[in-house]
Chains A and B, each alone.
Chain A
Amino acid sequence: MFHDLFTTPGKGRKLPKSIPVTLSTRIRLARNLREFPFPGRAETSQKRAVLTKCMDALSDVKGLNDSFSVEVDDLSELDRQILVEKHLISPELSQVEEGSGIVLSEDRNCCIMINEEDHLRIQVLRPGLDFGSVWKLADALDTGIESAISYAYDGELGFLTACPTNLGTGMRASVMMHLPGLVMSKNMDKVINAVNQLGIAVRGLFGEGSDANGSIFQISNQQTLGESEPAIIERLDSTLNNIVRQENFAREKLLQDDGVRLMDKMSRAVGNLKTCYLMQSSEAMDCLSLVRLASDFGMLPEKYRNLADRMFIEVQPGHVQLSAGKPVEAGFRDSLRAELLRKEFLRAPQIDPSPAAG
């Protein structure tokens, strides 16, 4: 099954090391083929023709050797859900009926969606904050694909996309950020308003319209036309660095003003994870968020940040069912989720209050 790919690590695949505040960096390029209507307007036969053409072209592209290709129709509900929870495909693509596909690179850092809103959505993902290498890879993949496929492109408007909000570069650069300090100090709305003025969007964990579970936010450029890719990235990067500073400032202030309350929260979160017998995914996300925060403060060993990042994904409903090996109804999922967390946090130490004193 397709999701077996994720239970066995690929060759040469290193376990990502997580860093405070920034979880992952992603760049997505929207591209369309010339002479085919965009997917939203296409007949099934036209979508099929695009799918075949893209799949053929992609298999020869450098960087996609040994990649896995699959049509969305051939995936079970659960497989699709797993891919959404891993942020490899969009919730929209997982709902598509016919003529759509996915190409996933061997190292799982690149995932190309075919016939989502646009013919091609080229995505590159990396842990941490790393626009340099992510853009280099996305750019190279795009150039490789373009040598086999003629893109819909206009000298004045750039790459033509189904939605004019993606026009020009077709690029959405984004970072997944963990911002519990700004959320707890009730400063997140201010930050959202301020960055919106700069043409930068803030969304929840699973994109448009989703909640910011576990204080995790997706921050991305809103504007795609009128600036070059490096200029967009530079502007976003400097805003993100500013948000990191604000977040660190908020954390320090919380610790200074009411450190006992904050430590109580973090310590109880660890306790919950160690002792729970039923846990919903939203509660799990909040506890994991506090574990990550404690690790950032140096109150828990570094490896608990890595564990929190892994668990952010594994506590999602699809992943709980994947480890159960079958679809499971919600109530029983809460019990399976609790069992997983109890096992993973069994040896978690008490939080160490000394960094707060220093």
Chain B
Amino acid sequence: MKCHHCDKQATVHLTQILNGQMHKMDLCEACAQEKGVTNPENLSIGNLMEQDGAEVDSVSGSMVCETCGTTHQEFKKGGRLGCEACYHVFRPVLDPLLDGMHAGVRHQGKVPAGSKSRVDFEQSIGLVRKELQEAVEREDFEKAAELRDKLHDMENEAKTIA
């Protein structure tokens, strides 16, 4: 599990009931120290989230989804996102919200068959890419050329699946 603030491994796991809602937060050692989590006397996830919100606000004021034009202000006001791409654009402000809203932050349910083949295909492209790199490193250029063509074909095919 990754730290809520940086990408390091989270070792401190907080759970607190706030206004009847359960909030969870995972932090790494360093961030936990910095946020004063090690002092249980004045610990509140609410404060941590507020600090978070304040920090995020300064960067997100100008956030806008280039695909559909939804702005961060609109999302804050209406609570609705405009398209798939919004989920990438607004991810930093969305993550803390999801934490308080749902039972977890990772999908555990149904995987659509179509997306499954797409995800599988993207993984196999990744493998060929790695093989190609290895072939180049050991100067097996004949193999590398073969793999390059294969990769080219697969990438074209990926476009049709998408």
* Chain A residues within CB distance 8 Å of chain B: 32, 34-38, 40-41, 117, 139, 142-143, 146-147, 150-160, 162-165, 167-169, 171, 193, 196-197, 199, 223-229, 231
Task: Say yes or no: B114 contacts A155, CB within 8 Å.
Answer: no
B81 near A229 with CB under 8 A, answer no
Binds A, one of B41-49, B95-103, B128-136, B142-150: B95-103
- B101–A165 CB distance below 8 A: yes
In the assembled complex, the Cα of A287 lies from the Cα of B110 at a distance in Å of 43
A154: nearest chain-B partner, CB-CB: B87
User: Does B113 sit within 8 A of A, measured CB to CB?
Assistant: yes
Contact A227 B79 (CB under 8 A): no
Bound CA span A159–B111, Å: 9
Query: In whole angstroms, what is the CA distance A311 to B83 when docked?
Result: 42
Partner among A154, A163, A171, A226 whose Cβ is within 8 Å of the Cβ of B104? A226
| Bitwise interface map of B from 57 to 78 toward A, beta carbon under 8 Å scored 1, else 0 | 0000000000111100000001
Whole-angstrom distance between the Cβ of B38 and the nearest chain A Cβ: 27
B79 near A168 (CB under 8 angstroms)? Answer: no
Chain B interface, >50% SS class: loop
Q: Which residue of B lies closest to A32 (CB)?
A: B84
**List of A residues within 8 angstroms of B101 by Cβ:** 164-165, 223, 225
Inter-chain CA distance A154–B112, complex, in Å, is 10
Once bound together, how far apart are the Cα atoms of A143 and B114, in whole Å?
A: 10
Q: CB of B40 within 8 A of chain A?
A: no
Q: Give 9 CB contacts A-B under 8 Å.
A: A146-B112, A162-B82, A164-B98, A165-B79, A225-B103, A226-B105, A226-B108, A227-B103, A229-B109
Shortest CB-to-CB span from A62 to chain B, Å, is 15
In the complex, A259→B67 CA distance in Å? 64
- Complex Cα spacing A150 to B116, Å: 11
Given contacts A154-B87, A225-B101, could you give 16 more A-B pairs where the C-beta distance is less than 8 Å?
A35-B84, A38-B80, A147-B114, A151-B115, A157-B107, A163-B81, A169-B107, A169-B109, A193-B20, A223-B103, A225-B98, A225-B102, A225-B103, A226-B102, A226-B108, A231-B108
Docked Cα-Cα span, A41 to B74, in Å, equals 11
* B108 near A227: Cβ-Cβ < 8 Å: yes
Neighbouring B residues of A167 by C-beta, 8 Å: 98, 102
